[in-house]
Structure 1
Amino acid sequence: MLSFEHLYSTLPEPLWVATQVTPVADPELIAFNAPLAEELGAKEIPDSATLAQWFSGNQPMPDAKPGAMGYAGHQFGNFVPQLGDGRALLLGEVIDQDGVRRDVQLKGSGRTPFSRGGDGRSPLGPVLREYLVSEFMAAMGIPTTRALAAVASGERVVRQMAEPGAVFTRVASSHIRVGTFQFAAAQRDEALLKALADHVIERHYPEAASAEDPYMALLEAVVARQAVLIARWMSIGFIHGVMNTDNCSIAGETIDYGPCAFMEQFDPQKAYSSVDQGKRYAFANQPAIAQWNLARFAETLLPLMREEGDALVEQATDAIRRFDPFFAAERRRLHANKLGLAEESDQAMPLMEGLESQMQQGRMDMTATFDALTHYAASLSDEHREALLSLTTQPDALAAWLDNWRAEQVASQDSQRLAAMRHANPIIIPRNHRVQEVIDAAYDGDFAPFHTLLDVVTQPFEDSTEARRLAAPATESEQVLRTFCGT
């Protein structure tokens, strides 16, 4: 079905270690992303039983060459020199319809040389969460890994309790992380590090190859992509949850949807992850953490760079500092779109800061607020104004903000601006309680709610009765306050 190549496996061990899949007991297909498969070059889609065998790993896919990738990582600030794919296997790479090389990987496919005593399996819940959230992010145009398939394993996985198991198939521009470079650097083998860096330049940043210092150019390019990515996360209230360096993609994609969640009632210090007790990765901390991760990336590249001594450190530091202007420029653009203003408006930032203050003080739901503002911008009706004001506990203060916003928005009022506003403000996100409802139903053997929610969140701007039902913010009793990793 897919035609695999194996460029990454030509890199020396221990960056990649050939490993066999551990078969599962009774694979059953939950979901298969046929449009993505066609995008990856699949000519024919086999029946569900064959797909279940292939995407559980029970039956090898033609030309697949499974292997585990080695990487290290700073986990909550503490460096671990060897982590690696403890429950994932890279099957190979495909060249998609646009000529882009992309990885195909199984998650939950059994033990690997990097499992460190783990079982190499995945519970069903995290598989469904990653499928839903990654496909929503793709529909929003946010760089992300993609979901190709989910297969129930017919086995139980023991975490806090025994849970149904599953295998997830993920597609990525690549699975190379900051932690991959940290792993290579920890081997104290400059040839190994250079081979990895040259591979990344050839694959992701070919323009860096012709720079005076290709490795400094690589750093600068990765900084720019990460800055844009984090700005886009923040624009929709996404909270990754575990921004360790091993979860920071060199390709600039969102990767490793563990205890991720979306902001509901606006609070810059919101954190959902059960493992983030100190709120290191809270919503507002994400830009600074991304920059910290990039500094760790820069440290690995220093031996390859042309400058030496203090001049080298200063040049690398300047590259990391460029995160701030890249992030600010993308954030300004996104703020203007979310508020329905011209992108050159100098009021986008102060107006957004004012609205965020209103959302926090008025206990407003972030997604519902911007959706209601979009409707009001399109109609300017009293009905839509009142609907927006009904979302806050402080309507007088919000009404004053609306008057200021309206005065600025008049200058930008046209159909193109309103279309940009709509496509910056989804009607629906994968709300935390809805994802949990889907998981609970699936644990009882009912996957219909999963497919219903998937259909809606992959069309996040389409208004419908079902979208409105699933878009409703959680009641107090429905709120999900903690999210969990699958490891």
Structure 2
Amino acid sequence: MNAPGLPNGSFRTDTLPFLNSFAGLPPAFYTRLMPTPVPSPYLVCASESAAALIDFDTREFNNPLFVETFAGNRVPEGSAPLAAVYSGHQFGVWAGQLGDGRALLLGDVPAPGTPHPGALELQLKGAGMTPYSRMGDGRAVLRSSIREFLCSEAMAALGIPTSRALCVIGSDMRVLRETPETSAIATRMAPTFIRFGSFEHWFYNDRKDELQTLADYTIDRCYPELRDAANPYEAFLAEVTRRTARLMAQWQAVGFMHGVMNTDNMSILGLTIDYGPFGFMEAFDARHICNHTDQQGRYSYQMQPGIGQWNCYALGQALLPLIGDVDITQAALEVYKPEYQQHFDRLLHQKLGLRSSQPDDDKLFDAMFGLMQNNHVDFTLFFRRLGSLALDNTSADEPLRDLFIDRPAFDAWATQYRARLRQENSDDVQRKIAMNAVNPKYVLRNYLAQVAIQKAQDKDFSETERLLKLLEKPFDEQPENEAYAALPPDWASHLEVSCSS
């Protein structure tokens, strides 16, 4: 899993070439401070594929210096730890100043293993209090750190834009949540952790100079191709809007629910960031709310595309002083809906193994989702088993058909689907190969994460490692791991995740 030609990576813990470009911004953008050490840190888990992005020698995972560094007990040479300030709308309400309350940016390192080599920022989550911690203790707990680690790497393997997770370091130090829990520090990686709320902060404080400084920095670092546009700020908003729309389509297509789509949790790069009370859809319900804290269902599965658009409008409002014209700003935002619809439509065609688009395909899709809703069919299993449907052998339908309570309704839809496949002379073998390449067999179900967490709390990290290996190849059959693709057990329906997760 290391980069080609780099069997063990070139960099060690003590040779990572840290810089911190964000620290070059004026002091108003952050507070410099050191992480708060933890007692007796130990390695919980680490990702070889994430390490490959920064050409890091994975043998270092066994080095005590690695553990001390990514626990926050040792500050690497060249880094300039800081906590960034930002604001945001939380559950649709302006929350004012927020900021990195439990995250510290160490700095950025070269990333030759990425598709477009540049630099990745390394950030410690749970490294102690900052001026932005408000009433919090600045710490993260083991359960939430393992969930974020596994989901970051799982999403990357699914091909969905995401921050990455290098490692989780644990400590026996206890922190209080609903009950006392074991603490942990997760190391996150992304080209930048700037969010929509980073721009809102300066807009709502009426500080246009800082707003422009941040926009220029972000464009120069992340979108240099936009610098020569007629209106770089309008081009920037349009590109962020397009990326966000595509991300929402990818979430919907795989049944992923973020749970807390506040503007301070929205990446300016269109990445999935800030994993908290996330979930993958199991028994399909478009109204499903994965976050127990979200009593009104603002961030339910069916609401995510609309909330993505709402957040882009919040960003557009913040950038209006730079763009300079309401109509131009509006035009940049109007790319969202067609981009989302086009991308989601393409993903649905791929998921159903359709090579062409026909005028009535929307009716087929709507009927499918209606059928899934009425029968509360497992999302991942439905699409994976759909690949085994054969044009002229209905007996092959049984594993798929068994997911439905109303089997005659499924049979009626399957007849429509077969007719559609015949329109393009679909080949069973080739279609199954194509569908299995986009419909995962394995996703990070909440109960799988919970089993790994329970073992990890007893310092048995074997299940976390097993899940990581499993989720790095979500489209492969992996017959030895068949049990991980089964319907969730009854007890899984009682699991709840909230903003403290």
Report the TM-score range of the alignment, normalised by the length of the smaller protein: over 0.9
Identify if the C-alpha distance between structure 1 residues 425 and 348 changes in structure 2 by more than 3 Å, giving closer, same or farther. Answer: farther
From 453, 468, 473, give the equivalent of 2:467. Answer: 453
Please report how far the alpha carbon of residue 395 of structure 1 lies from its aligned counterpart in structure 2 after TM superposition.
0.8
**Are the aligned partners of 2:153 and 2:165 in contact in 1 as well (CA < 8 Å)?**
yes
Q: 2: distance between equivalents of 1:380 and 1:195?
A: 63
**Are the aligned partners of 1:53 and 1:59 in contact in 2 as well (CA < 8 Å)?**
yes
Would you say 1:14 and 2:32 are equivalent positions? no
Give the aligned partner of residue 138 of structure 1: 156
Please report how far the alpha carbon of residue 113 of structure 1 lies from its aligned counterpart in structure 2 after TM superposition.
1.3
SS in 2 for 1:276: coil
* 1:398-430 deviation digits (Å, cap 9, x = unpaired): 111111111212315256654331122100111
Give the aligned partner of residue 285 of structure 2: 267
Please report how far the alpha carbon of residue 190 of structure 1 lies from its aligned counterpart in structure 2 after TM superposition.
1.4
Please report how far the alpha carbon of residue 354 of structure 1 lies from its aligned counterpart in structure 2 after TM superposition.
1.3
Give the aligned partner of residue 422 of structure 1: 436
From 337, 357, 371, give the equivalent of 2:384. Answer: 371
Q: 2: distance between equivalents of 1:109 and 1:21?
A: 5
Give the aligned partner of residue 432 of structure 1: 446
SS in 2 for 1:221: helix
**Are the aligned partners of 1:15 and 1:70 in contact in 2 as well (CA < 8 Å)?**
yes
From 352, 356, 361, give the equivalent of 2:369. Answer: 356
Would you say 1:60 and 2:75 are equivalent positions? yes
Q: 2: distance between equivalents of 1:31 and 1:481?
A: 23
**Equivalent residue pairs, number:** 481
**Are the aligned partners of 1:28 and 1:154 in contact in 2 as well (CA < 8 Å)?**
no
**Are the aligned partners of 2:387 and 2:431 in contact in 1 as well (CA < 8 Å)?**
no
**Correspondence 1:297-376 to 2 at 5 A:** 297-306=315-324, 312-376=325-389
SS in 1 for 2:45: strand
The more displaced of 102-111 and 43-52 is: 43-52
After superposition, the CA RMSD in angstroms is 1.7
Q: 2: distance between equivalents of 1:247 and 1:329?
A: 25
From 42, 46, 53, give the equivalent of 2:56. Answer: 42
The more displaced of 454-463 and 169-178 is: 454-463
**Are the aligned partners of 1:72 and 1:81 in contact in 2 as well (CA < 8 Å)?**
yes
Q: 1: distance between equivalents of 2:19 and 2:360?
A: 50
**Are the aligned partners of 2:88 and 2:201 in contact in 1 as well (CA < 8 Å)?**
yes
Give the aligned partner of residue 464 of structure 1: 478
SS in 1 for 2:188: strand
SS in 1 for 2:247: helix
**Where does structure 2 lack aligned partners over 5 or more consecutive residues?**
1-11
TM-score normalised to structure 2 length: 0.92
Q: 2: distance between equivalents of 1:13 and 1:189?
A: 14
Please report how far the alpha carbon of residue 382 of structure 1 lies from its aligned counterpart in structure 2 after TM superposition.
4.0
Q: 2: distance between equivalents of 1:173 and 1:384?
A: 46
Identify if the C-alpha distance between structure 1 residues 380 and 230 changes in structure 2 by more than 3 Å, giving closer, same or farther. Answer: farther
Give the aligned partner of residue 309 of structure 1: none
* 1:220-248 deviation digits (Å, cap 9, x = unpaired): 00000000000000001101000000001
Please report how far the alpha carbon of residue 157 of structure 1 lies from its aligned counterpart in structure 2 after TM superposition.
1.3
Would you say 1:3 and 2:21 are equivalent positions? no
Would you say 1:242 and 2:257 are equivalent positions? no
Q: 2: distance between equivalents of 1:454 and 1:17?
A: 34
Q: 2: distance between equivalents of 1:166 and 1:133?
A: 16
Q: 1: distance between equivalents of 2:28 and 2:410?
A: 57
Please report how far the alpha carbon of residue 19 of structure 1 lies from its aligned counterpart in structure 2 after TM superposition.
1.1
Q: What percentage of residue pairs aligned between the two structures are identical?
A: 38
**Correspondence 1:142-181 to 2 at 5 A:** 142-181=160-199
TM-score normalised to structure 1 length: 0.95
Please report how far the alpha carbon of residue 387 of structure 1 lies from its aligned counterpart in structure 2 after TM superposition.
1.2
**Are the aligned partners of 1:372 and 1:384 in contact in 2 as well (CA < 8 Å)?**
no
Give the aligned partner of residue 248 of structure 2: 230
**Are the aligned partners of 2:45 and 2:464 in contact in 1 as well (CA < 8 Å)?**
no
Identify if the C-alpha distance between structure 1 residues 386 and 86 changes in structure 2 by more than 3 Å, giving closer, same or farther. Answer: same
SS in 1 for 2:475: coil
* 1:160-196 deviation digits (Å, cap 9, x = unpaired): 0001110000001210000100112233221111110
Counterpart of 1:95, as a letter, is P
From 98, 110, 113, give the equivalent of 2:128. Answer: 110
* 1:195-233 deviation digits (Å, cap 9, x = unpaired): 100111112222221111111111100000000000000
Counterpart of 2:388, as a letter, is H
Counterpart of 1:484, as a letter, is S
**Where does structure 1 lack aligned partners over 5 or more consecutive residues?**
307-311
**Are the aligned partners of 2:287 and 2:300 in contact in 1 as well (CA < 8 Å)?**
yes
Counterpart of 2:272, as a letter, is T
Q: 2: distance between equivalents of 1:183 and 1:45?
A: 41
Give the aligned partner of residue 400 of structure 1: 412
SS in 1 for 2:333: helix
Counterpart of 1:404, as a letter, is Q
Counterpart of 2:83, as a letter, is A
Identify if the C-alpha distance between structure 1 residues 28 and 348 changes in structure 2 by more than 3 Å, giving closer, same or farther. Answer: farther
Identify if the C-alpha distance between structure 1 residues 248 and 343 changes in structure 2 by more than 3 Å, giving closer, same or farther. Answer: farther
Q: 1: distance between equivalents of 2:93 and 2:330?
A: 21
**Are the aligned partners of 2:447 and 2:488 in contact in 1 as well (CA < 8 Å)?**
yes
Q: 2: distance between equivalents of 1:189 and 1:441?
A: 49
